[in-house]
């Protein structure tokens, strides 16, 4: 007779529940403004106004502008993606590298760069970036590398370093701009990265 279900409804707390609608409007507004104005040109006031929301509501749920932007961006970027079914390990690796390059080349790329730029001044934002965006992508790549090692396509080694060797050049070009992320890069880099991995993976620890 006693209703059992209540015990299973932790989300039901006292007080007016958070407005999911506001949350979505805020993130949508942030996304739009970011696309139009970039990170620096997007003020919290503008987001609030565009979302038809009070500034206080934004600050109630996010500690600062960067956090909102981060979440807006995450809504527009799949943090990671599943391994291409049936593809062999190398193909999966290449696909992952290429998709990251494509992301960095897209309009989101500049926003990502802004966010990482801001993260240099905001440790919490940095942590959020690592947790929510970088982490999943690295995990995906790590799994792909493990499959490649298991398949004998790569020697075992320090996978974190291997990931850095793959992603490092992409981030460097995104953030430093010394060389373009262009068609040629998107075409050629994956194979070169794999070649590099073949040369080094495990080199430090193995033998």
**Residues at the site binding its own copies, with contacts judged by CB under 8 A:** 38-40, 113-114, 116-121, 126, 129-130, 134-135, 138, 157-158, 160-161, 164-165, 167-173, 175-179, 188-189, 191-193, 195-200, 203-205
Q: By C-beta, is 33 or 154 nearer to DNA?
A: 33
Neighbours of 128 (CB within 10 A): 20
Chosen from DNA, its own copies, none, partner binding at 64 (C-beta under 5 to 8 Å by type): DNA
The interface partner of residue 72, options being its own copies, DNA, none and the CB cut-off 5 to 8 Å by kind, is none
Which residue is it, tokens 């992409």? 170
Q: How far is the CB of 181 from DNA (least distance, A)?
A: 27
For residues 61-90, which are near DNA according to CB under 7 A? 61, 64-65
Least separation in angstroms between residue 162's CB and its own copies is 9
**104 interacts with, out of DNA, its own copies, none, CB within 5 to 8 A per kind:** none
Q: Per-residue x/- mask for DNA, residues 32 to 61, rule CB under 7 A?
A: ---------xxxxx--x---xxxxxx-xxx
Q: Which residue has the tokens 């499959």?
A: 147
Interface with DNA includes 16 (CB under 7 A)? yes
CA-to-CA distance for 47 and 140, rounded, in angstroms?
33
106 vs 100: CA distance, rounded Å = 10
CA distance 207 to 195: 19
Which of 22, 28, 80, 110 lies at the binding interface for DNA (CB under 7 A)? Answer: 22
Separation of first and last alpha carbons in the chain: 68
Are 111 and 55 in contact by the 8 Å Cβ rule? The answer is: no
Give, in degrees to the nearest 5, the angle at Cα 115 between 101 and 170.
Answer: 25
- The token pair at 206 is 């193995």
Q: If you ran DSSP here, which 8-state letter would residue 83 be given?
A: P
> Given the rule CB under 7 A, which residues bind DNA?
2-3, 5-6, 12-19, 22-23, 41-45, 48, 52-57, 59-61, 64-65
């Amino acid at each position: 007779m006693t209703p059992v279900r209540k015990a299973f409804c932790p989300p039901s707390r006292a007080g007016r529940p958070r407005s999911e609608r506001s949350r979505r409007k805020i993130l949508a507004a942030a996304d739009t403004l970011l696309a139009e104005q970039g990170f620096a040109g997007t003020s919290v006031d503008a987001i609030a106004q565009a979302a038809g929301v009070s500034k206080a509501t934004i600050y109630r749920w996010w500690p600062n502008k960067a956090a909102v932007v981060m979440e807006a961006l995450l809504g527009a970027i799949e943090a990671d993606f599943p391994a291409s079914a049936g593809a062999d390990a190398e193909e999966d690796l290449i696909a992952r590298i290429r998709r990251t390059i494509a992301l960095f080349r897209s309009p989101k790329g500049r926003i990502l760069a802004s966010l990482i730029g801001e993260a240099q001044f905001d440790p919490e934002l940095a942590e959020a970036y690592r947790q929510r965006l970088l982490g999943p992508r690295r995990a995906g790549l790590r799994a792909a590398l493990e499959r490649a090692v298991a398949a004998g396509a790569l020697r075992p080694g320090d996978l974190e370093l291997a990931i850095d060797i793959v992603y490092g050049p992409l981030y460097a070009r995104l953030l430093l701009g010394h060389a373009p992320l262009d068609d040629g890069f998107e075409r050629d880099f994956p194979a070169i990265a794999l070649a590099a991995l073949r040369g080094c993976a495990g080199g430090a620890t193995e033998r």
